[in-house]
Structure 1
Amino acid sequence: MPALYVMIPVALLIVAVAIYIFFWAVNSGQYDDLDSPAHSILFDDQDPAHKAGVDEASGKTVPPAREKPADD
């Protein structure tokens, strides 16, 4: 029974810290853009239009990517 006198305040302290960290993350903008990471994984980093999927999903117009000249 005496262990409960220690464990309950410790548990309440852990919950309070978790709630503080959650509200800090929300206020600092950690959850503002949830779509870009999901779309950017589909494109290579070297591709100049690798953000085209993000722009397309958000409704922005995307300029067509330049095509490479054919080797003859």
Structure 2
Amino acid sequence: MESMFILVPISIILAFIIGWFFWWSGKNGQFDDLEGPAHRILMDDDSTDKLLDKNQNDKDKPQ
């Protein structure tokens, strides 16, 4: 029973801390764009392929 006097206040304090971090992250824009990162993964980025081709062509040239 004595452990309840320690665990209950600690759990209440922990719940308030978690709630404050959730509120803070929402206020600072963490949840503004939930779909953008998922769409960026699907977009093809051909610029790296062009760089690789250019570097390969540079290696093939006689100096």
TM-score, length of structure 2 as denominator length: 0.68
Q: CA separation in 2, counterparts of 1:17 and 1:44?
A: 41
Q: Which has the larger helix fraction? A: 2
**Amino-acid identity (%):** 34
The answer to whether residue 30 in structure 2 is matched with residue 30 in structure 1 is: yes
RMSD: 1.3
TM-score, length of structure 1 as denominator length: 0.60
Task: Report the residue type matching 1:6 in the other structure.
Answer: I
Count of residue pairs the alignment pairs up: 47
Unaligned runs of 5+ in 1: 48-72
Instruction: Compare relative contact order (CA 8 Å, sep 6+) and give the higher one, 1 or 2.
Output: 1
Compute the displacement of 1:23 (Å): 0.2
Larger Rg: 2
Unaligned runs of 5+ in 2: 48-63
